[in-house]
Amino acid sequence: SSSSEISISFFMHGVYLHLPPASLTSRVLNTLKAEKDVDGISDVNIGRLVRGDLSKGFVPPIASAVLDLLEKHGEFAQKEFVPILNNFSIWTQNSNHYPKHCTDDIQPLKPCWSTIFLGLLHCKQDQKFTVTRECGQTNLLDVLITACFVCISPLILAPEPKKWYLSLFLYLIDIEISRAQKPKSMNQLAEEIGLLPEELEAYGRNKAKVQLSLLDRLHTQPDGKYVLVAGITPTPLGEGKSTVTIGLVQALSAHLKFNSFGCLRQPSQGPTFGVKGGAAGGGYAQVIPMEEFNLHLTGDIHAITAANNLVAAAIDARMLHEATQSDKALFNRLVPTVNGVRRFSPIQISRLRRLGINKTDPATLTPQEVTSFVRLDLDPSKITWQRVVDTNDRFLRKITVGQASTEKGQIRETGFDIAVASEIMAILALADSLLDMKNRLARMVVGTSRSGQPVTAEDLGVSGALAVLMKDAIKPTLMQTLEGTPVFVHAGPFANIAHGNSSVLADKLALKLVGRDGFVVTEAGFGADIGMEKFFNIKCRASGLRPSVVVLVATVRALKMHGGGPNNLGLVADGCYSNLRKQIQIAHLFGVPVVVAVNVFKTDTKAEIDLVCQIAKECGASDAVPCHHWAKGGQGCLDLAKAVNEATITPGNFQFLYNIEMPIVEKIRTIAQKVYGADDIELSPEAKDYGSLPICMAKTHLSLSHMPDKKGAPTGFILPIRDVRASIGAGFIYPLVGTMSTMPGLPTRPCFYDIDLDPITEEITGLF
């Protein structure tokens, strides 16, 4: 071609005919050349497959997948299998259901099938070969049931052969569903939800930080409706609050066309590699890409770890230097002469002000003032600050530091917490601006002096550096669901000793973005007695936001546990009338309407689901609906979305559970009696009163009481408070109820056994 002319040639490789079943006769099918027969349904290809000749023609999709999997796992050689294909014309009729469904636009996902597991089960000698499908709540086509039969030729040809029933299990694997969808670009998502280009900081292709300046730009925009997803007292693996949250926002956005935003916590590496796995949701209700959601994300937890451990290092360094230097030497090093001039830094002037010393010239301090300034005099036995790591490591719960000769005898016992239990994480979740976060970091109490005075991060001179480490972490991370609904992922405070909710800033930004008629759906950790109570009494006090409705997630399996056993309608009813009813009552204490979402599992019967919905409404729920979001995405949560919308029409009458000025004992007693159902509390003599701060009970999530094995709605118990501590920076008091661990341990077989990386494709396997 010349520079002004382009010649394009087209080469025809085949013709696809979409014909009705009645037209797919052998005569029609056999007119196809074997090498052009993409479905492998002509007599020639079927004959080759029966003979086990896979070298010519085209292997049909299901047969190819089965053989590929078997070869990959080394179960049998291909020659040992003779696939006999039946009714493959059905694939021609349903060509849109091939295993690949990625599209350039975000559409509500079509069904896709994932990994195939084969199980061989012994059957009677005269039983025929059949293929069945067990895929839980999936909406896969029934055509897969009759698509192929697989026989094992060595068994057939052997004398007196055993006959086997071959069950073809088709399960949807979360990570593969995630990869089957192509996310929108961050720029497209940002434009759709009303962000300006300069308000977005991209972190790769699939996630971005959002500038807090957005709050100033939209300060006149009315807030949307605020929905909290909580749950009944869970089983150890949880009841699906995250999947319900995601399914609900997908239903509201993609199906009912409301502006909607999900606000989720960032998962810790602890559970991701421990017992529960990731927290991106599951099935067709998840945040994508789920690998990025569950691993590192934008580094916020790493920033918290770095900041927390900087404080710990500063504590031990200060104690060492105070123990080995005179007041004069300490002063000369803390306030060095630079270019012949000695000056206090701003953070040191703040310390002088707290000491009542209104001087700015180092030369004017008296010897007594110098001593007060340089000596924090931390009591080693009363240091409350610990180091953190984002891994479940029970052997770090108690350690000894200072054993090297260079530490000069400064030996003391300390320990590690999981990173998300750090007070810095709680501060990140409750701060409403960079300035607020900086001030909260400065107020953190790290221990007590020998004279009984609290010592803060600002006293250590480290709070400014902490703000620097946290300056990017304070910005929420924008991601999206499988159906393209926006999600903010931000903060992830431990739900036992902290308040277990995502950030105030994420909620505030989302409420402005969705506008008056939109919805923001956020999630609280564990059962309503922990996460929801703390959401109302701590987070709502800090944010000034008021919820519109509570979605209470329940499962039949958890209700059976609370009813006392595994199997029958009586046990389900007992669980409903105990734990479910109590959790509904807790929400009503705050004047908020409740919609019960029954997260349906494949093992649940219709009678069980109907019974839960009926009793939930008897117990005061505005509505109760079954949810199939895992299998159907937003479509499976449509009834819930409609019920939530209906519940927000009538304004609630939100109220706090207690007055913040009440004495600490009365605040604790109010929670124990009204929320947990205790008769009273038993307070340890060591407990202190820290004044006008909300309460953040540190309690087991496995029971309404302090006893994990007490299910249902226990009564007649005394709640033991063994100590009362304060997170002054975060702004709450946390009473310790019974025994609580802030560092989980790994099980015998952690999730990391299944997690791996393909070095060629860089694909991650084994994440849920």
Measured in whole angstroms, how far is the alpha carbon of residue 285 from the centre of its chain? 12
Residues contacting 315, CB < 8 A, separation 6+ = 378, 383, 385, 446, 447, 460
Instruction: Please report, in angstroms and rounded to a whole number, the separation of the first and last CA atoms in the chain.
Output: 53
DSSP assignment letter at 578: I
630 is catalytic: yes
- The 3-state secondary structure of 279-334 reads CCEECCEEEECHHHHHCCCCCHHHHHHHHHHHHHHHHHHHHHHHHHCCHHHHHHHH
Amino acid at position 413, single letter: E
Residues composing the chain: 768
Which listed residue (225, 241, 440, 508) is catalytic? 241
Which listed residue (261, 331, 494, 526) is catalytic? 526
What tokens were used for 201?
A: 């900081």
Question: DSSP letters along 150-170, please?
Answer: EEEHHHHHSSS---EEEEEEE
> Rounded to whole angstroms, how far apart are CA atoms 746 and 407?
32
> Rounded to whole angstroms, how far apart are CA atoms 311 and 318?
10
Which listed residue (149, 601, 654, 656) is catalytic? 601
265 is catalytic: yes
Query: In what helix (H) or strand (E) does residue 469 lie, and over which residues does it extend?
Result: helix 463-469
Which listed residue (48, 225, 265, 512) is catalytic? 265
241 is catalytic: yes
Going by C-alpha positions, the residue among 681, 674, 656, 689 that lies closest to residue 737 is: 681
Going by C-alpha positions, the residue among 675, 702, 672 that lies closest to residue 558 is: 702
Going by C-alpha positions, the residue among 301, 293, 306 that lies closest to residue 489 is: 293
> Rounded to whole angstroms, how far apart are CA atoms 485 and 478?
10
> Rounded to whole angstroms, how far apart are CA atoms 74 and 438?
57
Question: DSSP letters along 402-438, please?
Answer: --SGGGTT--EEE-EEEGGGSHHHHHHHH-SSHHHHH
Measured in whole angstroms, how far is the alpha carbon of residue 726 from the centre of its chain? 26
Structural contact between residues 528 and 583, judged by C-beta atoms closer than 8 angstroms? yes
Question: DSSP letters along 31-50, please?
Answer: TS-GGG-TT--SHHHHHHHH
Structural contact between residues 382 and 447, judged by C-beta atoms closer than 8 angstroms? yes
Query: In what helix (H) or strand (E) does residue 200 lie, and over which residues does it extend?
Result: strand 200-202
617 is catalytic: no
Which listed residue (495, 554, 597, 641) is catalytic? 495
Residues contacting 463, CB < 8 A, separation 6+ = 347, 438, 441, 442, 444, 456, 457
What is the Cα Rg of the chain in Å? 31
Residues contacting 759, CB < 8 A, separation 6+ = none
Structural contact between residues 37 and 45, judged by C-beta atoms closer than 8 angstroms? yes
Residues contacting 303, CB < 8 A, separation 6+ = 469, 470, 472, 473
CA distances from 505 to 335, 628, 687 (A): 37, 30, 33
- Indicate the burial class of 598 (C-beta count within 10 angstroms; 0-12, 13-18, 19 or more): buried
Which listed residue (138, 233, 243, 670) is catalytic? 243
Task: With H, G, I as helix, E, B as strand and everything else as coil, classify residue 211.
Answer: coil
- Indicate the burial class of 159 (C-beta count within 10 angstroms; 0-12, 13-18, 19 or more): exposed
Q: Work out the angle at residue 289's Cα, subtended by the Cα atoms of residues 288 and 294, and round it to the nearest 5 degrees.
A: 100
Task: With H, G, I as helix, E, B as strand and everything else as coil, classify residue 656.
Answer: coil
> Rounded to whole angstroms, how far apart are CA atoms 54 and 80?
12
Query: In what helix (H) or strand (E) does residue 550 lie, and over which residues does it extend?
Result: strand 549-554
276 is catalytic: yes
670 is catalytic: no
Which listed residue (146, 149, 235, 276) is catalytic? 276
Which amino acids are annotated catalytic?
241, 243, 265, 276, 495, 526, 601, 630
